[in-house]
A and B are shown apart, each in its own frame.
Chain A
Amino acid sequence: MLSSKASCNSHGQDSSYFLGWQLYENNPFHEVENPTGIIQMGLAENQLSFDLVESWLRKNPEVMELKKGGESVFRELALFQDYHGLPTFKNELVEYMAKMRGNKVKFDPNNLVLAAGATSANETLIFCLADPGEAILLPTPYYPGFDRDLKWRTGVEIVPVHCWSSNGFRITMFALEEAYERAQKLNLKVKGVLITNPSNPLGTTMTKEELDHLITFAMAKNIHVISDEVFSGTVFDSPGFISILEAAMDRNLENTDVWSRIHIVYSLSKDLGLPGFRVGMIYSNNKTVVGASTKMSSFGLVSSQTQYLLTNVLASKRFTSKYMKENQKRLKKRKEMLVSGLKKSGIECLKSNAGLFCWVDMRHLLSSNTLEAETKLWNQMVCDVGLNISPGSSFHCSEPGWFRVCFANMSRGTLQVAMRRIKDFVERSNFMGRIKMNYQQNMSSLSRKLLSNWVRKLSSPDPNEHER
């Protein structure tokens, strides 16, 4: 009756990543109205710097009434549906992107294609680069949305490139080769590798070495590289951010084949914190890709009203410089708050310098080194502790026990509540752990039965404990 796309679950929404959101939505935390509700820590949003944008808007009345030099531009905007996008907007975007990369890379606005968010940009790029049944390599752990964005309607497959905690989840040549061979064995033609840099969920920027491996690999296998750089504006600490194009330029690859196989995806949803405005883009030096994706952007153009507003915001250079600096400062501070808060509970995070989240190591809290144990812990975190954090398995992490915890989408107060809840949980778990250990060592089977009943009663927490 319906298409197989409609009836299957490749939309990926049955993932725990999204289930957690639903649970949050049914019982959302509010400092006053619902203090025992679930705190949303599974949404990588940047809410730290809105006041900066709002104050700019208040100071710029010209934009307020859609006026340009005294004349209302409402009509022109309402009619503007050119899929090339507003030229002034693209000019500002490329300047902004260049600034973010320390002006080490220059972007040509004619190679920039607008899309309805990075979601649409990624899907469109895959439609352009691969046929149904072909494959894209993706280092793990990766953003769960990719399962939908890259595969659902395109019919393209994802082959994971396994990365491990033993080396900080860095992408190695070995891992790339291994994934490629696995794809071959599955009879899948690999068309490209997609990286997220800075990484979601790791919060780290890629090293020069990793980028070089990727480029070398892409050259050797004659495949594309898609670099999703949506978090490039959230780098708040050293080492700095190196874009794939910068790495390619360092190797003087501008006039080689691989240059036209490197594509960047960007959006204003993460660093500028404007996910609602749906501003995504593709940058490519490949004229055919630019041409095809421009036409495809018809299916998801950026509202002209939004293009106009943001053109004006980005044109204010003083504002953008101030914003970038201040935003990074605030992100760093908030991340440090999360890291130190978790440390007090004996929980470590992967050392990170970017992103809106931390990759948290909760392996020691697992009852066993299994996916089931991770899921059990996750259930406890959402339902008992009241924190929607995202389990590593939803990011296809090969090792159980890692969780992505967001820090930039809530107030300081809420983060403090979250830290307290974790502390309580860990202390309770340690206590229960010690009891369990003693009882296993000393008890007879009858006593074990009696004690286990008592333990079970004790381990369901009093909801009133959270109200502090």
Chain B
Amino acid sequence: MVAISKIATGNGHGEDSPYFDGWKAYETNPFHPIDRPDGVIQMGLAENQLCFNFIKKWVMEHPEASLCSAEGVNKFEETALFQDYHGMPEFREAVAKFMGKVRGGRVKFDPDRIVMSGGATGAHEMVAFCLADPGEAFLVPTPYYPGFDRDLRWRTGVELVPVVCESSNNFKITRAALEAAYEKAKEANLRVKGLLITNPSNPLGTILDRDTLKGIVKFINEKNIHLIGDEIYAATVFMEPEFVSISEIIEEVECNRDLIHIVYSLSKDMGFPGFRVGIVYSYNDAVVSCARKMSSFGLVSSQTQHLIATMLSDDDFVDSFIVESKEQLFKRHKYFTLSLSQVGIGSLKSNAGLFIWMDLRKLLKEKTFDAEMDLWRVIINEVKLNVSPGSSFHCDEPGWFRVCFANMDDNTMEVALLRITTFMHKHNEAMVPRKLCRRASLKLSLSRRRDDFMSQNMMSPHSPIPQSPLVRART
């Protein structure tokens, strides 16, 4: 049998990571409040499901945004034909405006620098193809999103060199860490072409402060390497301190703008992962030009461009949405973290993202990644929650877990919390019997909160793997 490519037969797709194993466990036994109340609750998927009613209302009130409505069908032909890789001007303008609003109007984005891609997944791969040759490398601060291993490396042949960040200083990206990574790359004979940061951070849920950002910009200018800022969670900053974008920093410090590139998407801020709206925004003309040509491999469906252009041009809607989304995320985050703290579970102090970085170090039998895997298996199989182990994010310290909170309704959240508290009580009882008296008061406080939050009527959690109601095909 003739061989197919090394890329196809290798495991550069990264799906053998435990990050995806948890999803598979969920897939075989997914939670449903009625049909499968003992199933696994999906907390490993960073989706934003908290504002759908808000968005749906707008969609119903604006039939012209859909090509299929009586109001929109007159645009069908020109939209169906539109395959220009520049993208619809109204789409680019609307996205540029949205990106500016998300940054509090402190920065303006040029619609002509907006390049489409197949989601942020496609955007990252495209940027890697533009900036680096096979065998060259990007630096990436840990812990980082597991998908980067595939998106930046698989078909591009580019290497990733971790910039190790530690819990001792809340995973700050220090100059020392950057230099150490750069040296390590040099020793391994890898030519570093760029640094990729995710801000707000996945999985930490934190934002980079101004000084750190300035330090990063200084570093990349000194080394003459590119800076790729993945700002996919920009609108999920629900609490102070305010988000500071790379686009703002370069107005404040000296910087070679040809080195600056932003990756964005509507998958997290708006909760539209299915629509595949990825964006590459580069300050480098040659990169814009090259990326635009490459975007042929992952253009945004013109039908979707039309919907998004209409939606994001509605200033009133956008302004209210940004506020509403922050509020919902804030409420959910507060409730979740408070409830966890009441059973002695801490997490990294965060103000953004769709997840928390949960600290379960003290539950480890020993300070090893094997122990982390053991604990993770317990969480999946006994507690029945799919959470993501820190090792899959290349965290250098065992015991951390990313737990998503925005991809489920209130009822499911309650069930998840109940399971956690039950588990913690069992664990605490095993450790320290005194905690019994706390349980009674905890039950009380939980039921009070349940009344506050049981307002929305949302459906069961979704995942990209076959439990979506859309997947129950009629054959």
Contacts and interface: CB of A to CB of B under 8 A. Distances in A.
Contacts of A154: 155
A7 B130 CA distance: 9
A72 to B, nearest CB: 6
Interface in B149-180: 150-151, 154-157
A65 interface: yes
Interface string A273-307: 11111100000001011001101101111111110
B274 A278 contact: no
B295 to A, nearest CB: 10
Contacts of B69: 64-65
Given A6-B131, A191-B2, A277-B301, A79 B8 contact: no
B68 A64 contact: yes
A355 interface: no
Contacts of A309: 67-68, 303
B119 interface: yes
A47 B274 contact: no
B7 A6 contact: no
A298 B117 CA distance: 11
Contacts of B55: 74, 78
Interface string B1-40: 1101111110001010000000000000000000000000
Interface residue tally on A, bucketed by range? 35 or more
Interface string A106-146: 00000000001101100100011111100000000000000
A50 interface: yes
B274 A304 contact: yes
Given A84-B466, A116-B299, A276-B301, A1 B47 contact: no
Interface residue tally on B, bucketed by range? 35 or more
Interface string B208-243: 000000000000000000000000000000000000
A81 B273 contact: yes
A120 B8 contact: no
Contacts of A88: 470, 473-474
A50 B157 CA distance: 43
Contacts of B81: 45, 47, 273, 275-276
A153 to B, nearest CB: 5
A260 interface: yes
A155 to B, nearest CB: 8
B80 interface: yes
A306 B276 CA distance: 11
Contact of A300 (B52, B273, B290, B298): B298
Contacts of B466: 82, 84
Interface in A47-74: 47, 50, 53-54, 57-58, 60, 63-66, 72-74
Interface of B: 1-2, 4-9, 13, 15, 47, 49, 52, 55-56, 59-60, 63, 66-70, 73, 76-77, 79-83, 118-119, 121-122, 125, 129-134, 136, 150-151, 154-157, 193, 258, 267, 271-276, 284, 286-287, 290, 293-294, 296-304, 307, 459, 462, 464-466, 468-471, 473-475
22 contacts: A2-B284, A2-B286, A3-B129, A3-B130, A3-B193, A7-B286, A54-B76, A57-B76, A74-B55, A79-B47, A79-B274, A81-B273, A130-B5, A153-B129, A153-B156, A260-B1, A276-B83, A278-B301, A295-B150, A298-B121, A303-B275, A304-B275
